[in-house]
């Protein structure tokens, strides 16, 4: 029986999720459950174009659901996390915590 | 925006973002204002439903011949109806605020607690209407549970089944929904005020006065209104800092 070498936490980071703006979008959507485009733009300090680009990356990856509609005459865009998005955010946070533990203690932390 | 620095800085940035979203979700002052007004309204309900009668004293106690004084006050409709309206208004407030601010709120646990409490308050009110007032000296039959009206346990259960449950429980649920330690502290103080058997003799109002409900509802009502004021001011200053 051979011992499998333990994977470094860095290999568990997903490039789609790890990008800081997208990580911010997922965090806000996780806490809010449903968040409007304008709120996200203000909370993250982004331009509309920049935010849209990141949202389409997340939508293509199946991590968020985007819903467009009207309230009165005002167009509104709402987004919410998909179950895959929720899982991806949790995994990312777990990997970050493992990474911190590895840096500070020199070994991997438990999964949670 | 999360930092692109060390993993610890990234996690700290995510924590800051989460706090920012929570601040936008909170609207604690509104349910506190409603519950405070509902509680203070109990004083007026007590005043207008106040009834004092002289009835025959129970065997073995009281002054036979002159009779005993029986004081009744309170309405079976006020709390169920008041709570139902308060919960409906709070749900409407949070949903509307969520739309205006563009950030969702987990209002469902709070509304579900409200529905359960309104059902309980209605069941208790129906029970009171069906059974009427218990006779002096007789055990209190509460849903088949025979309780001694003079015992400390019965008095504690009465306090627990009253405002402590109708107002204190929703406050605890709201503290959990809003992840607010300040509201948790207020809920604990409120429950202490409702559950600790403090004498109301300090107020100088005798139990035969039509205003005898004033200390029992006045202290927690004012506490809730002060809480509403505090949370309202904190929210206002947070919004000023953000803009």
pLDDT in tens, A67-112: 988 877 888 899 999 999 999 999 888 888 888 887 777 765 555 4
pLDDT at position B65 is 60
Provide the shortest C-alpha distance from residue B212 to chain A (in Å).
46
Does some domain include residue B95?
Answer: yes
Domain definitions of chain A by residue range: 15-103
For residue A3, name the pLDDT band (cuts at 50, 70, 90): low
Asked if the Cβ–Cβ distance from A20 to B3 is below 8 Å, we say yes
Residue % of chain B over a pLDDT of 70: 75
pLDDT at position A24 is 92
The chain B residues in contact with chain A (CB within 8 A) are 1-4, 6-8, 10-11, 13-14, 17-18, 20-22, 24-25, 98-99, 101-106
Lowest mean pLDDT among A17-26, A27-36, B29-38, B105-114: B105-114
Q: Work out the end-to-end distance of chain A between its first and last CA atoms, rounded to an integer number of angstroms.
A: 27
pLDDT at position A1 is 46
DSSP class per residue in A8-28: PGGGG--HHHHSHHHHHHHHH
Residue % of chain A over a pLDDT of 90: 44
CA angle, residues B64, B153, B38, in degrees to nearest 5: 95
Asked if the Cβ–Cβ distance from B18 to A27 is below 8 Å, we say yes
Does some domain include residue B120?
Answer: yes
Distance CA B215, CA B201 (A): 9
Provide the shortest C-alpha distance from residue B76 to chain A (in Å).
39
pLDDT at position B101 is 87
The chain A residues in contact with chain B (CB within 8 A) are 20-21, 23-24, 27-28, 31-40, 43-45, 71, 76, 78, 80, 93, 96-97, 99-100, 103
Asked if the Cβ–Cβ distance from A20 to B1 is below 8 Å, we say yes
pLDDT at position B143 is 60
Asked if the Cβ–Cβ distance from A39 to B103 is below 8 Å, we say yes
Give the fold, CATH level 3, of A15-103: Arc Repressor Mutant, subunit A (1.10.10)
What pLDDT, in 10s, does the model give residues B160-197? Answer: 777 777 788 888 888 988 888 999 999 999 998 888 76
Does some domain include residue B13?
Answer: no
Return the higher-pLDDT residue of B93 and B150: B93
Q: Does residue B61 register a pLDDT over 70?
A: no
Q: Search chain A and give the residue with CA nearest B10.
A: A20
What average pLDDT does the structure give for chain B? 79
Indicate the number of domains in chain B.
1
The residue whose two tokens read 């996390």 is A81
Residue B119 token pair: 């059902």
What is the pLDDT averaged over residues B110-139?
70
What is the pLDDT averaged over residues A4-13?
63
Asked if the Cβ–Cβ distance from B2 to A43 is below 8 Å, we say no
What pLDDT, in 10s, does the model give residues B19-55? Answer: 888 888 888 999 999 999 999 998 888 888 777 777 7
Residue A19 token pair: 């990008």
Q: What DSSP element (H or E) covers B72?
A: strand B68-72
The residue whose two tokens read 């009427």 is B132
**Nearest in space to B31 (alpha carbons), one of B195, B237, B235, B218:** B235
Return the higher-pLDDT residue of B194 and B5: B194
For residue B125, name the pLDDT band (cuts at 50, 70, 90): low
Does pTM surpass 0.90? no
Does some domain include residue B22?
Answer: no
Q: Give the number of A-B residue pairs with CB atoms closer than 8 Å.
A: 74
Does some domain include residue B243?
Answer: no
What is the pLDDT averaged over residues A30-53?
91
Residue B177 in contact with residue B184, Cβ under 8 Å?
Answer: no
Does some domain include residue B198?
Answer: yes
Domain span holding position B161 = 32-233
Residue B149 token pair: 């009206």
């Amino acid at each position: 029986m051979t011992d499998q070498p333990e994977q470094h936490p860095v290999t568990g980071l997903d490039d789609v999720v790890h990008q800081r703006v997208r990580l911010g979008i997922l965090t806000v959507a996780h806490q809010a459950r449903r968040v409007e485009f304008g709120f996200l733009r203000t909370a993250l300090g982004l331009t509309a174009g920049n935010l849209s680009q990141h949202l389409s990356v997340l939508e293509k990856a199946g991590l968020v659901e985007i819903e467009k509609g009207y309230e009165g005459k005002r167009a509104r865009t709402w987004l919410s996390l998909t179950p895959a998005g929720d899982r991806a955010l949790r995994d990312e946070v777990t990997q970050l915590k493992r990474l911190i533990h590895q840096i500070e203690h020199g070994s991997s932390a438990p999964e949670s | 925006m999360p930092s692109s620095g060390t993993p610890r800085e990234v996690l700290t940035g995510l924590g800051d973002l989460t706090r920012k979203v929570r601040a936008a979700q909170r609207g604690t002052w509104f349910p506190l204002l409603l519950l405070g007004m509902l509680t203070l309204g109990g004083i007026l309900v007590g005043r207008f439903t106040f009834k004092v009668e002289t009835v025959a004293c129970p065997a073995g106690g009281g002054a036979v011949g002159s009779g005993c004084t029986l004081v009744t006050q309170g309405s079976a409709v006020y709390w169920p109806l008041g709570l139902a309206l308060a919960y409906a208004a709070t749900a409407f407030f949070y949903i509307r605020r969520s739309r205006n601010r563009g950030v969702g709120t987990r209002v469902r646990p709070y509304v579900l607690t409200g529905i359960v409490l309104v059902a309980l308050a209605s069941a208790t009110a129906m029970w009171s209407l069906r059974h009427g007032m218990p006779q002096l000296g007789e055990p209190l039959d509460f849903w088949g549970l025979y309780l001694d009206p003079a015992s400390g346990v019965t008095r504690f259960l009465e306090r627990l089944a009253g405002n402590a449950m109708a107002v204190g429980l929703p406050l605890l649920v709201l503290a959990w929904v809003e992840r607010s330690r300040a509201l948790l502290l207020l809920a604990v103080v409120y429950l202490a005020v409702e559950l600790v058997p403090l004498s109301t003799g300090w107020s100088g109002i005798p139990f035969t006065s039509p205003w005898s409900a004033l200390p029992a509802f006045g202290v927690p009502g004012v506490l809730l209104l002060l809480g509403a004021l505090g949370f309202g001011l904190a929210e206002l200053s947070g919004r000023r800092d953000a803009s």
